[in-house]
Amino acid sequence: MTTVALPQTRSEPAPRRRRLNAQDGAAYLFLAPWLLGFFLLTLGPTIASLYLSFTNFDLLQAPSWTGFDNYWHMFVEDKRFRNALSVTFWYVLLAVPFELLFALAVAMVLDKGLRGLTFYRALFYIPSLLGGSVAIAVLWRQIFGYDGLVNEGLSVFGVDGPSWISNPQYSLYTLVLLRVWQFGSPMVIFLAGLRQIPQELYEAASIDGAGPVAKFFRITLPLLAPVIFFNLVLQTINSFKAFTPAFIVSGGSGGPIDSTLFYTLYLYQEAFAYFRMGYASALAWVLLSIIAIFTAASFFSSKYWVYYGDEGR
C-alpha cells in the first residue's frame, strides 16, 4: 500500500511475450523469499481481512457471517466513525499542503548553493527519520504540554498558554505541526528535482527580462510538476495512514473528546481495545478504498497539470 511507482516518463512499446527461460527461473528463485513473504504475510491476511469484515470475529470465538452488518453500522449508525473520518480529512487537508510548501521552500533555499549543503540536507532530513517514532511523539507531548517549552516561551510575554495537546481546540493542530516538521523526505526529493532543471532556461529567461517570480511560476513550477505530483501522492497516502503521533500524544484515546481520533487510531481501538476484529477489518477496507480513490483522483487530475519534459507539446 505504501509504494507508489514513480510516474513513467514515457510509455514504451510492450515487450513481446516470450517463454520462461532458465534465467527467469533463477530470478524467481531469488525472488522467492520476498514472494513467499508477500503471499503469506501480506496478500493472505489482506484477503482474510476482507472475509472477516463480513463477520463478527472477536478473537476468542470463531467468526460467524453477518453479511453487511458491519458496513451498515459504519455508514448509518456510527458517529465515532464519522468523527474519525472528519478528523483524518482535516489532518490530510492541512498537513499535506503545508508540509509540501515548507519542503519546497527549504529545498529552494538549499538549491541556491549554500555552503555545507550536504550537512544541512542531512540535518533537515533527520526529523523525517525520527518523526514517525514514539520518542518524538513523546517529546511533542512535553513541548506542547502545560509546562512545556511553548508555554515557557509564551510566559515571557505574559501569556498563560493552555495545555495544547489536551485541549480539543488545538490538539489536532499540534499533530499537523508535527507532520509539517517532518518535511525532510519531500524536501530531498524536491531538491533532486530542482537540480534536474536545466540552468539554460533560467539564463534565457533572464535575458528576456524575467524576474524571480516569473521564473518560479514559468520555469520552476512547471518543470517540477512531476516531482510535486509524486510527493503529493506519497504524502497524502502517508497522512491517511498516520497512527503513531495520535496514538502517543493522546495516550491511545484519540482524546480529548475524540479531537485526535485518527481513522487508524479508531480502527486500532475497535480491533485491539474492544476486540471487534470483524468491524475493524471493515474499517480497514473502507480506508483502503478511500486511499485508492484519492490516489486515482490524483492520477486522473495529473493529466491536466503535470508536464513531463519529453511529452513535447
Partner 1 sequence: MSNVSRRSTLKLAAGLAAAATLPQSVWAQAARTRLRMTWWGGTDRAKRTQAALDAYQKLNAATQIDVETIGWSDYWTRLATQVAGGNAPDVIQMDYRYIYEYARRKALRPLDEFMPSLINIADFGQANIDTGKVDGQVFGVSMGVNSNGLFYDRTALERLKIAPPDHTTTWAQFAEKAVAITTAAGKRGFFGSSDAASNEPALEVWVRQRGRQLYDNDGKIAFTRDDIAEWFDYWDKLRRAGGAVAGDLQALYRNTPETDMLTTGRSAISFQHSNQLVAWQAVNQGKLAMTMFPQGGAGSKPGQYYKPSMLLSMSATTPQPQEAARIINFISTHPQAGAALGVERGVPPSKGMRDRLLGEVDELGKAQIEYISLIATRVGPLPAPPPKGAGEIQENLRRVYETISVGNAKVPQAADQFMADAKRTLERA
Q: Verify binding: residue 37, partner 1, rule CB under 8 A.
A: no
Q: Among the candidate windows 9-17, 29-37, 41-49, 56-64, which touches partner 1 by CB under 8 A?
A: 56-64
Q: How far is the CB of 202 from partner 1 (least distance, A)?
A: 51
116: left (phi over 0), alpha (psi -120 to 50) or beta: left
Q: What 3-state DSSP class applies to 265?
A: helix
CA dihedral 65, 68, 69, 71 (to 10 degrees): 130
Q: Verify binding: residue 60, partner 1, rule CB under 8 A.
A: yes
* Residue bearing cell 529545498: 107
Q: Which three cell numbers stand for residue 128?
A: 523525517
Binders of partner 1 among residues 150 to 179 (CB under 8 A) are: 160, 162-163, 165-168
Binding partner 1 (rule: CB under 8 A), the pick from 9, 272, 296, 301 is 272
Q: Verify binding: residue 45, partner 1, rule CB under 8 A.
A: no
Q: How far apart are CA 161 and CA 149, in angstroms?
A: 11
Binding partner 1 (rule: CB under 8 A), the pick from 89, 102, 120, 146 is 146
Cis link prior to 45 (omega < 30° from 0)?
no
Site string for partner 1, 72-111 (x = CB under 8 A): -x--------------------------------------
CB nearer partner 1, residue 7 or residue 252: 252
DSSP bridge partners of 65: 55
CB nearer partner 1, residue 4 or residue 139: 139
Q: How far is the CB of 59 from partner 1 (least distance, A)?
A: 4
Question: Is the separation of the CB atoms in 185 and 128 below 8 Å?
Answer: yes
Q: Verify binding: residue 251, partner 1, rule CB under 8 A.
A: yes
CB nearer partner 1, residue 193 or residue 254: 254
Q: Verify binding: residue 145, partner 1, rule CB under 8 A.
A: yes
Largest CA distance in the chain: 77
Our measurement of the distance from residue 29's CA atom to the centroid of its chain's CA atoms, rounded to an integer in Å, reads 33
Q: Verify binding: residue 255, partner 1, rule CB under 8 A.
A: yes
CB nearer partner 1, residue 149 or residue 273: 273
Binding partner 1 (rule: CB under 8 A), the pick from 43, 59, 105, 117 is 59
Query: What is the chain's Cα-based Rg?
Result: 24
* Residue bearing cell 555552503: 115
Question: Is the separation of the CB atoms in 236 and 295 below 8 Å?
Answer: yes
Q: Verify binding: residue 132, partner 1, rule CB under 8 A.
A: no
- Nearest CA among 119, 125, 309 for reference residue 227: 309
In the complex, the residues that contact partner 1 under the rule CB under 8 A are 59-61, 73, 145-147, 160, 162-163, 165-168, 251-253, 255-258, 272-275
